[in-house]
Amino acid sequence: MRNRTAVRAVCLTLAAVSLAACSVSRSRNPGSAPKDDEPAASATPSEDGAGDPYYPTDGNGGYDVTAYHVQISYDPSSKNLTGDTLVTAKASEELAEFDLDLQGLEVASVTVGGTNAKFTRSGEHELVITPSAPVAAGASFETRVKYSGVPETTEEGTLGENGWQLSSSGGAFAAGEPHSATAWYPANDTPKDKATFTLDARVPDGWSVISNGVESAPTPGGDGWTTYHWKEPNRIATYLTTVGIDKWTFERSTLPSGTPVVSAYAPGAEDKQSVEARLPEILEFLASKFGPYPQSAAGGIYINENIGFSLETQTRPIYAAWAEESVVVHENAHQWYGDSVSVDQWKDICLNECFASYAPWLWDEAKNGVNLDDQYRREVARGTDKLWSGKLYDMGPGNEFTAVYEKGPLALHALRRLIGEDAFNRVLKEWPAKHKDGNASWPEFEQFTQDIAGKDLTGFFKAWFHDDTRPADEYLYPGPLHK
């Protein structure tokens, strides 16, 4: 994600999340599902929260989602959404009760394994589901949720609204980090639980739909509505899913590899076609640095809105009206660092943003002849206490999307000069290959880098990534950077 005012890519800054949120009260407010018998007392409910200390009520324990099939109808005139989502999962424990995350929308019914289940709402986003019989540990099961209403924004950070947002043309789109998905479909809202994603979105004729992954031909309904079909076969974190409903102008092509490219431009954003025209070149360059392109499709979603961020929605980033070439480089670097390899916890966010923020440096070096050592020295020389006080690892809730965009690329350039070109290039390519389609943590990255470099980097990593002060000169000016 990139902020429009940053010198380098500065992502959405989020409000601090109180750890007290972990103690959400679960008052049982019966839903409209039939009253089945209570489950056996020996079965235990899943955990409320996936274990991330920064967002303790996000996600849920007890199961692993393998696939989402989201079906929605959206009427731009009334702004009403009706949804029918099928969540396929595998239980990791016996489930007498489990949660999904859903923001605001009214739930009409829930079934588990085709049988009606009881449900309640708890806290800001918990949908608490009690199946008619406990789900056995190790069993695969399907949960179907039908719901409707006017979707809400999930929160407002310092750069503006997140979640479901309305466009000036009358359409709508979903974007935000770490929350956006649960504004329009029920999900296990944690990057630790990635799953495949299928979307069937029905809209009135004259409107069209863009989303993640590979498209299939739209289906006219004969009733003044058309259904658009998108499928992401690679596993995807929920905040990286999106839907855009507008009167899009589409461009379609393929990469030399055969990967389909679909880009969409909202009314008023057609001038961004010249920016997107360099996407094949950008992806070829990034692949030369990070390894083969890891996604099923490519493209971009260009909205005509001056929101405060662009976002790396998987396969097809969303770009604000101000986005230019460097932003396209940044968001597509995320297709390796952040999308294919996702964080284990939000304190690991440097694995996403530090690398995506260094990618425009690499692009400028290769394409524009920029001397990165000189650029590094200039930025270090004008660095303030604010720059150095930002931690790059375990920075605390609410601080994830701050230092990683300016201090992050400095730290990576210093690492590059410390371990040398060969080792650094191996790190850039071998890390996303090792963890493709998975999750990883910053401590794992430190050990991985030390193994490749063949040296103890504990002092360097502590000074740059763990500490909140200016690094000592031995770490600030290693190798060729030495003053």
* Residue 25 in this model has a pLDDT that exceeds 90: no
Per-residue pLDDT of 364-411, as tens digits, reads 999 999 999 999 999 999 999 999 999 999 999 989 999 999 999 999
161's tokens = 């609204």
Question: What per-residue confidence (pLDDT) applies to 160?
Answer: 67
- 18 pLDDT band, cuts 50/70/90, is very low
Q: Is the peptide bond before 178 cis (omega within 30 degrees of 0)?
A: yes
Phi-psi region of 127 (alpha: psi -120 to 50; beta: other; left: phi over 0): beta
343 CB neighbour count, 10 Å cutoff: 24
Reported as a pLDDT band with limits 50, 70 and 90, residue 84 is: very high
- Return the pLDDT at 471: 98
Rounded Cα distance, 331 and 335, in Å: 7
d(CA 99, CA 368): 51
In single-letter form, the type of residue at position 36 comes to D
Rg (CA), the chain: 23
pLDDT tens, position by position, 65-75: 999 999 999 99
Dihedral (C-alpha) 51, 56, 62, 68: value to the nearest 10 degrees? -110
Q: Which pLDDT value is given to residue 124?
A: 87
Q: What is the pLDDT of residue 45?
A: 59
Q: Which of 23-37, 48-62, 277-291 has the highest mean pLDDT?
A: 277-291
Domains assigned to the chain:
2-339 (2.60.40.1730), 342-481 (1.10.390.10)
**Higher-scoring residue by pLDDT: 230, 3:** 230
Residue 130 scores a pLDDT above 90? yes
Q: CA 303, CA 320: separation in Å to the nearest integer?
A: 6
Query: Taking all residues of the chain, what is their mean pLDDT, rounded to a whole number?
Result: 91
pLDDT for the residue numbered 47? 66
pLDDT at residue 39 greater than cutoff 80 = no
Please state, in angstroms and rounded to a whole number, the distance separating the CA atoms of residues 373 and 453. 21
For range 168-175, the mean pLDDT: 97
**467: Cβ–Cβ under 8 A, 6 or more apart, which residues?**
391
Contacts of 360 (CB under 8 A, 6+ apart): 8, 9, 326, 329, 330
Phi and psi dihedrals of 2, rounded to 5?
-135, 140
**369 Cβ contact partners less than 8 Å away, ≥ 6 residues apart:** none
pLDDT beyond 50 at 108? yes
Q: Which residues contact 482 (CB under 8 A, 6 or more apart)?
A: none
What pLDDT is stored for residue 398 in this prediction? 86
Residue with tokens 């963890």: 435
pLDDT in tens, 194-225: 999 999 999 999 999 999 999 999 999 999 99
Per-residue model confidence as pLDDT tens digits over 155-165: 666 566 789 99
Instruction: Please give the Cα distance from 162 to 171 (Å, whole number).
Output: 16
Give the model's pLDDT for residue 151: 96
Convert the pLDDT of each residue in 331-370 to its tens digit.
Answer: 999 999 999 999 999 999 999 999 999 999 999 999 999 9
Q: How far is CA 456 from the centre of its chain?
A: 32
The 10s digit of each residue's pLDDT in 267-301 is 999 999 999 999 999 999 999 999 999 999 999 99
Nearest C-alpha neighbor of 388 from the set 321, 472, 444, 328: 472
- What is the mean pLDDT of the segment spanning 98-111? 97
SS3 175: strand
Can you say how many angstroms the Cα of residue 120 is from the centroid of all Cα atoms in its chain?
Answer: 28
